A and B are shown apart, each in its own frame.
Chain A
Amino acid sequence: MFQITDIPRILPEILLLVLALLVLGSDIFERWSYTDASRLERVRASAQLSTIGLGLIFIITLVQSGYLYTLPVDAPSNFLTNILRNLQAGGPGQGTISGAFATDDLTMIARLILIGAAFLTSMLCLDFHPTSNPAEFYALIIFSTIGMCLMAGATELVLIFLAVEMTSIPLYILAGYFGDKRSSEAGIKYFLFGAMSSAIMLYGMSLAYGFAANALGGNSTANDLTQLSKIAELAGEGNSLLTLSMILLIAGVGYKIAVVPFHGWSPDVYEGAPTPVTAFISTASKAAGFLVLFRLLTVAFPSLTGSANFGEELGGWTSMMAFLALITLIIGNLAALPQQNAKRMLAYSSIAHAGFVLLGLVAWASPQQFDRDQGTIAIVYYLVVYTLTNIGAFGGLAMVSMAVGGDDVRDLNGLARRNLPLAVLLAVSVLSLAGIPPLAGFFAKFYIFMVGWQSGAWWLVIIALITTIISLYYYLRLLRAMFIEAPASLEPVHAPAGMMTAVGVSVLGVLLIGIFPNLVLGIINRVQMVAGL
C-alpha cells in the first residue's frame, strides 16, 4: 500500500513535476509579443529556470542518496540534521512501493544519471534557442525526465508502460520541434515507430498477465499479477506462452534502446531532431530503456535465463541478448563507416554502443551471483560513461552546427584552427567513444569485455573487439577533419558560454572517472541489491 511516509521516496519525481509546472506557469508572466527581444527574454527565463531547477534537484537527489555523506544514526538533533534525516529516510533501500516502484540503489543511481543528463541538456539549451513556445520546450524535457525516472524504478507492467509513454510522447514533440522538413520527419518517424513498439510491448504485457492469471487457475481477484516478481514466482519451467511474451517485451523495449533490428528510426531521428534533443534521446532515454530491460529480464524472467556459451544448448534471453549484441555491434559499426553527416555517424556509433551494454546483460548466463553482479555494475558504469561522453560529443556538434550551419563531417574541417578549446573538447569525447585509454570509454569497454569473458560468451567479446578496431576508422575521421583538414574559412567559431560549460563538465567527468574509476565504481558497487531478486 502507498503510505504517507513513502512520499520522500519519490521526492525527486515530485520535485521534477513541480519544476515542470513552474517552468510552464512562469512563462505566462513574461512579456509576450512577437519581437525578437521579448522572445529571447522568454527563452532565457525558461532556460535558466529549468537549468537551475534541475541542478538543484540533482543536488537534492545526491544528498538524499547518501552516497557522499550519510547522516550517522547518533547525530545530534537540530534543524539541519532533522531535514537531512528526513530526506535520507527516503533514500535507497526498503521494499517496493505497492509492488510497483522500487527505490533501490539502482533506481537511485539511475535518477542521478537521468537528472544529470537532463541538467546538462538544458544547459546545452541555454544558448540553443527554440523558435517558439520556449517554456514548453524546456517543460517537455523535464516531463520526459520524470518518465525516465519512473522507467528506471518500475517493477510492474502497467507502470512500465505508463512510464515508457510518459518518456516518449514529450520526446516525439521535441524531435519535431523545429517544424522544418527534417525535424518534422524525425518527429513523425519517431512517433510512428514508438506507437508500433508500444503496441507490441502492450501485447507482450497482456500475454504475461494472461499467463499469470492462468497459472492461478483463473482466480481474477488477485490484483498483483502484473508485478514482475509475481510473474517470476508463477513461471514454471519452459513455458512457451511466457517465452513469447518475453520476446514481445524485448522487441518493445528494443526500440527505446535502438538495438538492431529495432534501430531503423534512430539515424533519421537523431539527424533531424535539434542537436541537444538528440543528445538527450541518445543518452537519457536510452539509459532508462536499458534499466527497464534489465529489470524486466532479470526480475520477471529468471527461469528463462538460458546460456550464451558455445557448446551448450542456446536458449533463454541471454542467448537472445548475445545475438542482438552481435548484430548490433556489427551493423552499428559498419553502417557508421560511410556516413558523411557527423550526427548520423554518431547515431550509428550510439547504436553500436548499445551493443556493448547488451554484452553486460549476457553476464547473467553465468550461474554465479558474483558474475551477474559484475555484469550489472559494468552496465551501470557504461551507462554513466556513455551518457557523459555522448552529451559532450553531441553538445560540441551542436555548437559547430549552430555556427557553421551544417553538421556534415566536412563542416568540422579545420575546427582546431577556428576554435581550439571546442575542438579539444570534442576530440576528447570522440576519443572516449572510441575507447582510447585513459579516457572513461576505455575502462567502460574493458569492464564490459571482462564481464563478457566471465559469462562464457568469448566469441562475442572477440567480435566486439574487432568491431571496436573498425570503429576507430570513423572516429579518427572526425579527428582528422578537426585537426588536419584545411578549414573552409578562418573565421572563428563562436562557442556560447552555457553550451561550452555543459560540454566542459561532461568532458571533465569523462577524464576524471576514466583516470579514477573508483570514484563512481565505489557507488555503483551498491547496485548489487536489486529489488525483487
Chain B
Amino acid sequence: MPAYLIPSADGLPWLTLLLLTPLLGMVLVGIAGAMRLDDRIVKLGVLAWTGVPIALAALITAGFNPNATADGQAALQFVEKIPWIDSIRVDYFMAVDGLSLPMVLLTVVMTPLGVIASWGVNTRVKTHFALLLLLEAAMLGYFVALNFFFFFIFWEFSLVPAYFLIQLWGRENRRYAAFKFFIYTMAGSVGMLLLFQVIYLATRYAGAPTFDLITLGRLGQGLPVEGVTGSLRDVIFNYMQHLGVAESLGRYPLLYTSIAFWAIFIAFAIKLAVWPFHTWLPDAYSEAPVAGSVLLSAVMSKMGAYGMLRIMLPLVPDAAQYFAPVMGGLALVGIVAGAFGALANISGDVKRLIGYTSINHMGYVMLAIAAAAALPGGASQDSRAIAINGALMQMVAHGLSTGALFYLAGALQQRTGSWELNGLGGLRTVAPTFAGVMGMAMFANLGLPGLAGFVGEFFIFRGAWATLPLFTALAVIGLIITALALLIMYQRIFLGPTGEAAQGFADLRPMELWSTVPFLVLLLILGVYPAPIMNLANAAATQLVAVFLQALS
C-alpha cells in the first residue's frame, strides 16, 4: 500500500463495523417485529442502539492522527481495501480522513435526535425506526466509501429510506415532495455516473483503469500515480482524441474537464440545494416528518458539500478554478434568496422558514468552496484552507443547530397542532424553558458569536475575503436578513401578547429538554473552543487547496 493509505493499527475493520451496526440494528428491529414486542421497547432499543455507532466513531476518532500527511496529500486512515469486482477493477475501499471524519461524527450524533424526534410516531413504528437506521447506514457508507462504485451506491441508496420516510409519515403534500426529492437527486446524479464511466475508460486507455476516488484525485491534482503519466486532464483529453471527439468539439483540454466539472457540480449542487437547484428543498423539508427533516437538513444536505470537497476539487481543479466565480455567484444568489425566502415565510410555515435558512447557510458553504478554488489573487494557502475549514465547521454547526431547531419546531407543532406561525405569541411566559432552548438553537443557527455557527461563518468570510472579496462583501446581506427572519420567527412564537395557543401550552418535558441539551452544549463548546473539529480537518484542507496556488488553466 502507498504511504498515504494507513490501515488501522490493530487490523480490525473499524469502518465496516461502523457501517454494519445500523444494519444489524435494522435486523434486530425486524426480529422485534417478528416477536411482536411492544413499540415502546422497540423505540428505546433503537435509541440505545444508536449509541453503538457513536461509541465506534469515538474510538475511530481517538485512533485518528489528524496531522498525518504523505506524498502530497492527507493520509487516509483505517483503510480497508479488498478487490470486489475484478472485471472492472472495483475495490471495497473504505477509509476516513479529515474531510470525512467530521461528517461521520455529525451523522452518528444526529441519528439519535432523529430517533427521539420520531417518538410520537404511532403508525408502522418498527418500519419507521428500521428506515431511520437504514438511512444512517447509507449516509455513513457514503462518507467513508472511497471507490466510486460504492460511493455511488450509497449516494443513491440513501434516497430510498428518505423517500419512504417522507412518503409514509409526511404531511399533506408529501407525495409531491417525496417524488420531487427522489427524481431531482436521481436525475442530477446521472451525469456523474456517465462521467465516471468515461473516466474509467480513459484511465484504462492510459493504462491504469480505476474507479478509485483517491487515485483519481491524485491524478487530477497532478500528484504522482503509479502506472500513469500526466494528470487526469491529459488522460481524459488523450482518450477524447482517441475517440475522435476532440476532432469535432475542439482540441481544448479545459473543455473536457469543464464538462466533467459540470456533471459533478450539478449532482452535488442539487443535494446541497445551491440556487437554482434548490427548489426541492423547501418542499422536502417541510413535508417530511420531523425525523426526516432533522436528518435531511442536518446530514443529507452535507452529502453534497462533502462530494464537492472529495470529488470535484481534486478531480477537476482546473475547471473548478475557472468556474469559481460562477460558483461564487450562485452561492451569493442562494445566500440572499434563501434569506429573503425565509423572511417571506415569517407568517407562514415554520418548517419552510427553517428550510429557507438552510438554503442560505449552505450558500456560505458553497461560497467557501468557490473561494478555495478561485484564481490566485495573492491569496495564500492559508486563506484557502481557512475557507475549507470554515465550510466543514459550518456544516457541523448547521447540522447541530438546524437539527435542534427542526426538533423543537416539531415539539411546538405537537402542542399547537399546526405549523403556522400565525396565532402564536407570548409563549415565553407559559413555557420559559422552551423559549430558552429554542432561543439558543436559533442564535447558534444565525451565527451569534460564542456559538458554533459564528465560528464557521467567521472562517468562511475570512477565507473567502482573500479570493472573492466582492461576493463576500455582498454575502453579508444574507447574514442580516437571516438574522432578521429568525428573530421575527422567535418574536412571533415567544414574545408579544399572549395568544390563544398559550392556554394549556406545556413547557418542554424533561425528555425533550435532555435530548436537545447535548446539542446546545456541543454548539457552545465548539463556539468557544472550535479546535476539535478544526484540528481534525486542517491537514486535509491544507493539502486539498495546495493545487490552487497557481493558475491552472
| A residues whose Cβ falls under 8 Å from a Cβ of B | 309, 311, 374, 377, 431, 436-438, 442-443, 446-447, 449-450, 453-454, 456, 461-462, 465-466, 468-469, 472, 476, 480, 483-484, 516-518, 521-522, 525
* Known contacts A311-B244, A469-B183, A484-B167; is-contact A462 B194 (Cβ 8 Å): yes
User: Among residues 177 to 215 in chain B, which have CB atoms less than 8 Å away from a CB atom of chain A?
Assistant: 179, 182-183, 186-187, 190, 193-194, 197-198, 200-201
B31 proximal to A (CB < 8 A):
no
A469 pairs with B167, CB closer than 8 A? no
B190 touches A469 (CB 8 A): yes
Q: Which residues of B contact A377 (CB under 8 A)?
A: 87
A/B interface sample: 11 pairs, CB < 8 A: A311-B244, A374-B87, A446-B193, A447-B88, A450-B200, A461-B194, A465-B193, A469-B183, A521-B86, A521-B87, A525-B87
The answer to whether B88 and A450 touch across the interface, beta carbons within 8 angstroms, is yes
Q: Contact string, B73-93, partner A, CB cutoff 8 A, digits 1/0?
A: 000000000001111100000
Q: Does B49 contact A (CB under 8 A)?
A: no
New A-B contacts (5) at CB < 8 Å, excluding given A449-B197, A521-B87: A437-B153, A450-B200, A469-B183, A480-B175, A483-B164
In this assembly, does B28 line the interface, its C-beta being within 8 Å of a C-beta of chain A? no
Tell me, in angstroms, the Cα distance from A377 to B244 when the chains sit together.
26
A449 in contact with B194 (CB, 8 Å): yes
B78 to chain A, nearest CB (A): 22
Q: Among A437, A453, A518, point to the contact of B84 (Cβ < 8 A).
A: A518
CB pair B156–A437 under 8 Å, yes or no, is: yes
Q: Taking the nearest CB of chain A, how far is it from the CB of B251, in angstroms? A: 16
Q: Whose C-beta in chain B lies nearest to the C-beta of A468?
A: B190
Please state if B153 and A476 are interface contacts (CB–CB under 8 Å). no
Whether A522 pairs with B86 at a CB distance below 8 angstroms is yes
* B85 touching A521, Cβ below 8 Å: yes
Contact (Cβ within 8 A) B187 A469: yes
Kindly list chain B residues whose C-beta atoms are within 8 Å of the C-beta of A454. Answer: 201
- Do B156 and A436 touch across chains, with their CB atoms under 8 A apart? yes
In the complex, the answer to whether B183 meets A472 with C-beta atoms within 8 Å is yes
Cα separation A480 to B244 with both chains bound (whole Å): 45
In B7-59, the 8 Å CB interface with A consists of none
Inter-subunit contact A453/B201 (CB<8 Å):
yes
- CB within 8 Å for A438 and B157 given contacts A311-B248, A449-B194, A484-B167: yes
A469 and B84 within 8 A (CB): no
What does DSSP make chain A's interface, helix, strand, loop or mixed? Answer: helix
In the bound assembly, the distance between CA atoms of A245 and B100 in angstroms comes to: 59
CA distance A465 to B198 in the complex (A): 14
Chain B residue, CB-CB nearest to A381: B87
Residues in B neighbouring A525, C-beta threshold 8 A: 86-87
Distance to closest chain A CB from B521 (angstroms):
38
Complex CA gap A453/B149 in Å reads 17
> What are the residues of chain A within 8 A of B160 when measuring CB–CB?
431, 436
Interface flag for B168 (CB, 8 Å): yes
Q: Please determine whether B152 and A437 come into contact, CB atoms closer than 8 angstroms.
A: yes
| Max chain A Cβ within 10 angstroms of own Cβ: one of B88, B152, B248 | B88
B167, A480: Cβ atoms closer than 8 Å: yes
**Bound-complex Cα distance A311 to B87 (A):** 30
Interface string of B338-372 (1 = CB under 8 A from A): 00000000000000000000000000000000000
Q: How far is the CA of A431 from the CA of B186 in the complex (A)?
A: 14
Q: Which 6 A-B pairs have the closest CB atoms?
A: A437-B153, A450-B197, A438-B153, A437-B156, A517-B85, A465-B190
Q: Does residue B243 face the partner (Cβ distance < 8 Å to A)? A: yes
Q: How far is the CA of A522 from the CA of B179 in the complex (A)?
A: 38
Closest-by-CB residue of B relative to A525 is: B87
Contact A484 B168 (CB under 8 A): yes
Q: Is A483 in contact with B167, judged by CB distance below 8 angstroms?
A: yes
Instruction: Kindly report which residue of chain A lies nearest to residue B179, judged by CB atoms.
Output: A476
The docked-state distance in angstroms from the alpha carbon of A311 to that of B198 is: 19
Determine if A483 and B87 form an interchain contact, defined as CB atoms under 8 angstroms apart: no
Determine the distance from Cα of A468 to Cα of B167 in the docked complex, in whole angstroms.
22
B315 smallest CB distance to A (angstroms): 18
Q: Give Cα A300–Cα B13 distance, bound, in whole angstroms.
A: 52
**Which residues of B have CB within 8 Å of A461?**
194
In the docked arrangement, what's the CA distance between A517 and B156, Å?
Answer: 18
Q: Are B153 and A442 in contact (CB under 8 A)?
A: yes
In the bound complex, CA of A438 to CA of B151 (Å) = 11
- Whether A436 and B157, one on each chain, are in contact in the complex, defined by CB atoms closer than 8 angstroms, is yes
Q: Which residues of A contact B186 (CB under 8 A)?
A: 469, 472
- CB B159 to nearest CB in A, in angstroms, measures 8
For B153, the closest partner residue in chain A by CB is A437
Which A residues touch B167, using CB under 8 A? 480, 483-484
Q: Which of A436, A438, A447, A450 contacts B201 (CB 8 A)?
A: A450
Query: Which residues from chain A contact B149 at a C-beta distance below 8 Å?
Result: 446
A449 CB contacts on chain B under 8 angstroms: 193-194, 197
Please, which residues of chain A bring their CB within 8 A of the CB of B183? 469, 472
Report how far A450 CA is from B87 CA in the complex, Å.
Answer: 12
- For residue A446, which residues in chain B have a CB less than 8 angstroms away from its CB? 149, 193, 197
> Within the assembled complex, what's the spacing in Å between the Cα atoms of A522 and B87?
8
**B194 CB contact (under 8 Å) in A437, A456, A465, A517:** A465
Q: Which residues of A contact B193 (CB under 8 A)?
A: 446, 449, 465
Complex Cα distance, B156 from A521, in Å, reads 23
A453 with B197: CB separation less than 8 A: yes
A107 to B193 alpha-carbon distance, docked (Å): 33
The A-contacting residues of B in range 132-170, CB under 8 angstroms, are: 149, 152-153, 156-157, 160, 164, 167-168
